Chain A
Amino acid sequence: MAAEQAALGEILRPIRGRLRLAVAAQTLSAIAGVVPFIAIAELGRVLLGDGADRSDRAWTITAVAVGALFVRLALMLAAGALSHFADDELQSHIRRGMVARLARVPLGWFSARNSGTVKKAVQDDVDAMHHMIAHSLLEMTSATVVPVVSVVYLLWVDWLMTLVTLAPLVIGLGLYSITMAQMAKHLPDYDRAMGEINASAVEFVQGVAVVKTFGQTHRAHQKFRDAADDFAAFFLSWVRSTVHSKAVAEMVLSPIAVLLAVVAGGALLVTGDRLAGVDLLPFALLGVGLTAPVLALFYASYELRFAKAAAARVGEVLNAEELPVAKEPRTPAGNHVSYQGVRFSYDGEKEALAGIDLELAPGTVTALVGPSGSGKSTLATLLPRFADVTGGSIGIGGVDVRDLALDDLYRRVAFVFQDVRLTQTSVADNIAMARPGASREEVIAAARAACVHEEIEALPRGYDSVVGEDARFSGGQAQRISIARALLADTPIIVLDEAAAYADPQSEAEVQAALSELTRGKIVLMIAHRLSTVVEADRIVVLEDGAIVEEGTHPELVARGGRYARMWQAHERSTVWQPHRGTPDPAAGTAQVGGISR
């Protein structure tokens, strides 16, 4: 909690001055808002009196009341504007801060968990803080100032009557806290029931398409109906269990109860000559208005808690650890890549890579094969510093990648991903991402080489079509645009996820042609999925459990009869399989058919 408080304070620092000003304006506005009430009470004194200047004084008081209203409005608007502007600036500040930070954290930071965190932070959490800054803060100010000013004035008028007026408030708040405590005790039940109905709802609506294909709609539907009925029944019994104490507390806190206390108490005091009739006016005017702000404070404190938790999460993103950059960058001699005793662990316990030695010479293709989880992708992504090694080193041209300036590193290494992401800008900008200054001719040449030029030309605005607006691409087309991007970047080292070639079976041939173009004369490190692709690689590296178990050319490895040879066999068999018939069994010579009895 203290840490969350600190996080909120830290985040609010840039706008603290303006927030103070807004609170000050709101405070004055709240005081001005009490003035007309006091004015009416004073008006009563004047009108009921019989001074000679009765009329003048009455009009003066009226003018003060009306004037105070205008002052209140003006100050309220000023406070609102200040806090809204401050909030806008804060949001923009937070978002810019995040953008700056996101550009510097290690790429490995963007795991599924963290991109969820970013999403929550920029969308929900910033929103929660907006509420706190732009609304709750001012509401809380009013809710504090109005009762304080009122009570001070009322005490000045008559202390005993003040106590009578405050009685329902004190009793009501006591009851209310008891009710709240009761509800809090049963809140876990409510949360559980709510969680259950939400889970059933999500499961039903998301799974119904599948359920339908199995002809089970009726059953699933009935199950969901039952869950909905159960929840409604639970909700009713849950709220009914608190209805009595809640009703009593709310009734005691209602304006009617305060009115009754003021009137009954006032009648007793006035008829007992303890109080002048005119002195009752302030209590009828201000006393009745005391409970609403106090309740508002209750709710606002709840929002404040939300905002603090939100600030903590936002702070987490803003303070994420950055990828270290070389203070005195060195320039590599050539582009020979060398992995030396490379170790890596995601969690500090289990090693994803356990001592890898690997040399990638200029002009060679190296293929990484192995089952999923063997460390292929980790090994490849360490080169463009998605994460830094936890042991050993990776060098380019004799210089550790950590000692290269980042832009120098990325001028040397390009990465073609399995899942392609295009930015929502023009197609030309997407291709020219690595070289924003590239001419249109260069962009077109890259697109041509990546076999995607004709398809871009066919778009409504050609290369100026905007992705997501008038340019929509199939998986294979997007794939080729990303290859065009890498072609234009023209880096000497290419890290390639070969699954890229199969994202879209329809344009497999085009993607393949584009890849062949891209890798011409480069150092290629390829994460391979289909063994047929790697047959001609200069070297095949077989990984298992984070270690290299075999290494060599295709013929060498097949001849060795080890792990790779077994994988190759499985691959061969899978290419001859046919649905309806299965895989021809070389031993029996007959097609294998199966199926359970019908």
Chain B
Amino acid sequence: MIRKLLDVVGPEHNRPIRRMITALVVCAVLQGVAFALLVPILQALLGSDPDSVWPWVWALLGVSALYCAAYYDSLRTGFDAGATLSRMLHNRIGDQVASLPLGWFGPERVGRLGQLATKSVMDVMGVPAHLLRPLVTSFVTPATVVVIMYVFDWRLALAATLTAPLILLVYRWSAGLTRTADEARTAAQAETGGKVVEFAQLQPVLRVFGRGEQGSGGTGLDAALRNQAEASRRVLRTGVPGLVSFALVVQAAFTVILVTGVYLALDGGLDVAKLLAVLVLAARFTEPIAEAAVLGSTLRTAQAALDRIAELLAEPRLPEPSPAREPHGHDVEFEDVRFGYDGTPVLSGVSLRLAEGTMTALVGPSGSGKTTVGKLIPRFWDVDGGVVRVGGVDVREIDPEVLMSKVSVVFQDVYLFEGTILENIRLGRPGASDEEVRAAGRLARVEEIAQRLPYGWDQKVGEGGALLSGGERQRVSIARAILKDAPIVLLDEATASLDPENERAVQDALTHLTAGRTLLVIAHRLQTVAAADQILLLDEGRIVERGAHHELMAADGRYASFWAQRSRARRWRLAARPA
């Protein structure tokens, strides 16, 4: 646990954490020494000469003062450690995220990443104060007491020592047992929770299809509820033996000391006062050990948070070129490109060329690799084989920021920041003047949106752009791309479910963005395909037909039948038909 913590922070920054652990150990040892002083003190007070107690009381006072100093130091170093953890975790997560390939950022991952950068970091930040301190105290203080006990009576000390390995062993074993059962229970609880949420979200469907009341069976909710009850019973079955054993062992340790002590005292071998003092210690210190068992769940939360962070930090980064080369011109070229996700091939030998200033339409069935072709150009991922070149240079040899400045990507998933409209557009070129930003906004028909809103251009758009409709968010993202003014534009044309007015506005915006650029369109509209200088028909990761519209129609192959099918779909109307 501690090693993992040090690893995640990085070797060059873990000093405050090491220092804090040292301070905690010193504190715990001093506490043990202070308690051990009880033996001579009680011995004196219970004996015939109570006045002999004073030197020991002064000693206790001295140790207490030292303890206070050490405690204060441990608090301070603890804060340092917390601050270091927060800064280093944020920084390392930031560095890593900045270096991951774009393709890594799926919606689900991004959602979890938000959790990771906030809650998980805070969980780990709490480790020094909420976890290390009680853990260290629970084990180091009793150990110190046992060691000092040897000075007073080796037989009792030996009895205590012998029980220690057993306690540790059972602690580990029982923690393991409870963890497995607890995890199963938590998982079962999460599953039922998820099912209830699903049930709520599915209500319209369930209800309309007459399954509202009994619908819980249809979604597996009943099974999940039963499963949860079963998991809870399992926790008791498997977890309880562990808990009982641990409690029993700790009790046994105490009992051994108690019985040995009483036996030794009665048979005259041991001074009663000494025995009583030792028993006080034994009684006091079996409890903190037992308390350590309770820390289990906090420990697991922190452990899980650390694991998630470590996992993120272990993701392979996108390699950066050194030295970087400058691309010449704005054409794009694929040479025998092979690429797959997790071993499933998506592109198997694609060669193509997008000449500067021309428009290329990519068509093909879903899953044929169209989006992947687009995403390999700005290095969402790197190819598994072959080369992607921009301006004659392998994209892997171009400085990522330079490459990105050459390419605008307009896909469906638009991300807006929680800033104003103006700030969101400015992302396209941070150095742009307000006037330039507005001009881009006007071209993308964002001005109409601004006019509608109470604060105009300075209207905050809400988290993820929640204040704007889908079509409006698209227009803002196009304005961004217009402002960026990159010579190569990648466009995914799926503008589903936009009402006619919005569709017109988005189209106007796109006109300004794409004119004269090297354009690659993942095309869905026949109109677009027909206008392309070059059409590439992709199927199962290969280009099966290529050429201009009239050439491909004349060839009467796959493209021609695709065209015919889409033309039929376009003419589709819903009309009353007799049954």
Within 8 A of B (CB), among A238-294: 239-240, 243, 246-247, 250-251, 254-257, 259-260, 263-264, 266-267, 270-271, 277-278, 280-281, 284-285, 288-289
New contact pairs (6) apart from A284-B38, A520-B579, CB-CB < 8 Å: A95-B193, A103-B212, A209-B415, A270-B45, A410-B208, A598-B487
Contact B203 A107 (CB under 8 A): yes
Q: In the bound complex, how far is the Cα of B401 from the Cα of A88, in angstroms? A: 54
Say if the beta carbon of A178 comes within 8 Å of chain B.
no
Say if the beta carbon of B514 comes within 8 Å of chain A.
yes
Contact B31 A92 (CB under 8 A): no
B70 → chain A, closest Cβ, in Å?
11
Find the residue from B45, B97, B436, B568 having the highest chain A CB count within 10 A.
Answer: B45
Q: In the bound complex, how far is the Cα of B189 from the Cα of A16, in angstroms? A: 22
B569 → chain A, closest Cβ, in Å?
4
Say if the beta carbon of A37 comes within 8 Å of chain B.
yes
**Top 9 A-B residue pairs of the complex, sorted by shortest distance between their CB atoms:** A521-B579, A215-B404, A228-B90, A232-B87, A201-B117, A536-B575, A582-B511, A578-B531, A434-B209
Contact B512 A594 (CB under 8 A): yes
Known: A99-B221, A277-B45. A40 touches B197 (CB 8 A): no
Q: In the bound complex, how far is the Cα of B210 from the Cα of A436, in angstroms? A: 10
Contact B86 A232 (CB under 8 A): yes
Q: List 12 A-B contacts (CB under 8 A).
A: A36-B283, A48-B46, A73-B247, A115-B201, A270-B45, A270-B53, A277-B45, A476-B366, A531-B500, A582-B515, A594-B515, A596-B482
Contact A595 B204 (CB under 8 A): no
Q: In the bound complex, how far is the Cα of B114 from the Cα of A130, in angstroms? A: 26
Contact of B200 among A118, A270, A505 (CB under 8 A): A118
B239 → chain A, closest Cβ, in Å?
10
User: Looking across the interface, which residue of chain B has its beta carbon closest to that of A73?
Assistant: B247
Find the residue from A58, A281, A425 having the highest chain B CB count within 10 A.
Answer: A281
Say if the beta carbon of B311 comes within 8 Å of chain A.
no
Q: In the bound complex, how far is the Cα of B35 from the Cα of A289, in angstroms? A: 13
Q: In the bound complex, how far is the Cα of B203 from the Cα of A522, in angstroms? A: 24
B440 → chain A, closest Cβ, in Å?
7
A106 → chain B, closest Cβ, in Å?
10
Known: A115-B197, A214-B480, A232-B86. A267 touches B57 (CB 8 A): yes
B499 → chain A, closest Cβ, in Å?
6
Q: In the bound complex, how far is the Cα of B276 from the Cα of A482, in angstroms? A: 78
Q: Which residues of B contact A498 (CB under 8 A)?
A: 574
B279-295: contact bitstring with A at CB < 8 Å (1 yes, 0 no)? Answer: 11001100100000000
Say if the beta carbon of A62 comes within 8 Å of chain B.
yes
Within 8 A of A (CB), among B258-286: 258-259, 262, 265-266, 272-273, 275-276, 279-280, 283-284
Find the residue from A217, A270, A505 having the highest chain B CB count within 10 A.
Answer: A505
Say if the beta carbon of A47 comes within 8 Å of chain B.
yes
Known: A582-B515, A596-B482. A209 touches B366 (CB 8 A): no
B558-576: contact bitstring with A at CB < 8 Å (1 yes, 0 no)? Answer: 0000000110111111111
A425 → chain B, closest Cβ, in Å?
6
Contact of A84 among B212, B213, B236 (CB under 8 A): B236
Say if the beta carbon of A326 comes within 8 Å of chain B.
no
Contact of B417 among A47, A55, A203 (CB under 8 A): A203
Say if the beta carbon of B144 comes within 8 Å of chain A.
no
Q: Which residues of A contact B514 (CB under 8 A)?
A: 579-580
Contact B75 A243 (CB under 8 A): yes
Known: A201-B114, A213-B378, A271-B51. A529 touches B497 (CB 8 A): yes
Say if the beta carbon of B196 comes within 8 Å of chain A.
yes
Contact A239 B82 (CB under 8 A): yes
Say if the beta carbon of B449 comes within 8 Å of chain A.
no
Q: In the bound complex, how far is the Cα of B333 from the Cα of A329, in angstroms? A: 69
Stretch at the interface among A148-156, A332-340, A394-402, A566-574: A566-574
Say if the beta carbon of A349 comes within 8 Å of chain B.
no
Within 8 A of A (CB), among B464-491: 469, 480, 482, 484-485, 487, 491
Q: In the bound complex, how far is the Cα of B521 from the Cα of A559, in angstroms? A: 37
User: Looking across the interface, which residue of chain B has its beta carbon closest to that of A497?
Assistant: B497
Chain A residues touching B, range: 35 or more
User: Looking across the interface, which residue of chain A has its beta carbon closest to that of B366?
Assistant: A506
Contact of A118 among B47, B196, B284, B572 (CB under 8 A): B196
Q: Which residues of A contact B544 (CB under 8 A)?
A: none
Q: Which residues of A contact B439 (CB under 8 A)?
A: 596
Find the residue from B118, B503, B531, B574 having the highest chain A CB count within 10 A.
Answer: B574
Stretch at the interface among B163-171, B248-256, B302-310: B248-256
Q: In the bound complex, how far is the Cα of B60 from the Cα of A257, in angstroms? A: 10
Say if the beta carbon of B430 comes within 8 Å of chain A.
yes
A224 → chain B, closest Cβ, in Å?
5
Say if the beta carbon of A592 comes within 8 Å of chain B.
yes
Contact of A521 among B75, B407, B504, B578 (CB under 8 A): B578
Q: In the bound complex, how far is the Cα of B571 from the Cα of A69, in angstroms? A: 84
Known: A84-B232, A410-B207, A489-B209. A224 touches B90 (CB 8 A): yes
Contact B574 A534 (CB under 8 A): yes
Say if the beta carbon of A382 comes within 8 Å of chain B.
no
A389 → chain B, closest Cβ, in Å?
18
B227-254: contact bitstring with A at CB < 8 Å (1 yes, 0 no)? Answer: 0110010011000100110011001001
Contact A256 B64 (CB under 8 A): yes
Q: Which residues of B contact A570 (CB under 8 A)?
A: 500-501, 504
Contact A203 B57 (CB under 8 A): no
Q: Which residues of A contact B146 (CB under 8 A)?
A: none
Within 8 A of B (CB), among A199-250: 199, 201-221, 224-225, 227-229, 231-233, 235-236, 239-240, 243, 246-247, 250
A374 → chain B, closest Cβ, in Å?
9
Q: In the bound complex, how far is the Cα of B76 from the Cα of A77, in angstroms? A: 39
B326 → chain A, closest Cβ, in Å?
14
Say if the beta carbon of B557 comes within 8 Å of chain A.
no
Q: Which residues of B contact A250 (CB under 8 A)?
A: 71, 75
Stretch at the interface among A1-9, A18-26, A416-424: A416-424
Say if the beta carbon of A415 comes within 8 Å of chain B.
yes
Contact B210 A411 (CB under 8 A): yes
B331 → chain A, closest Cβ, in Å?
16
B83 → chain A, closest Cβ, in Å?
4
User: Looking across the interface, which residue of chain B has its beta carbon closest to that of A511?
Assistant: B569
Say if the beta carbon of A388 comes within 8 Å of chain B.
no
Q: Which residues of B contact A596 (CB under 8 A)?
A: 436, 439-440, 443, 482, 485, 512
A487 → chain B, closest Cβ, in Å?
12
Say if the beta carbon of B79 comes within 8 Å of chain A.
yes
Q: Which residues of A contact B508 (CB under 8 A)?
A: 582-583
Q: Which residues of B contact A346 (CB under 8 A)?
A: none
User: Looking across the interface, which residue of chain A has its beta carbon closest to that of B480?
Assistant: A214
Known: A259-B38, A263-B38. A579 touches B359 (CB 8 A): yes
User: Looking across the interface, which residue of chain A has its beta carbon closest to that of B497?
Assistant: A499
A433 → chain B, closest Cβ, in Å?
4
Within 8 A of B (CB), among A67-124: 69-70, 73, 76-77, 81, 84-85, 88, 91-92, 95-96, 98-100, 102-104, 107, 110, 115, 118-119, 122-123
Within 8 A of B (CB), among A177-208: 194, 197-199, 201-208
Q: In the bound complex, how far is the Cα of B287 from the Cα of A418, in angstroms? A: 61
B110 → chain A, closest Cβ, in Å?
5
Q: In the bound complex, how far is the Cα of B428 from the Cα of A401, in angstroms? A: 53
Q: Which residues of B contact A520 (CB under 8 A)?
A: 577-579
A80 → chain B, closest Cβ, in Å?
8
Contact A433 B501 (CB under 8 A): no
Q: Which residues of A contact B200 (CB under 8 A)?
A: 102, 110, 115, 118-119
Say if the beta carbon of A160 comes within 8 Å of chain B.
no
Q: In the bound complex, how far is the Cα of B71 from the Cα of A270, in angstroms? A: 31
Q: Which residues of B contact A595 (CB under 8 A)?
A: 443, 482, 485, 512-513, 515-516
Contact of B570 among A48, A482, A532 (CB under 8 A): A532
B403-433: contact bitstring with A at CB < 8 Å (1 yes, 0 no)? Answer: 1110111000001011000000001101000
Q: Which residues of A contact B530 (CB under 8 A)?
A: 578
Say if the beta carbon of A414 comes within 8 Å of chain B.
yes
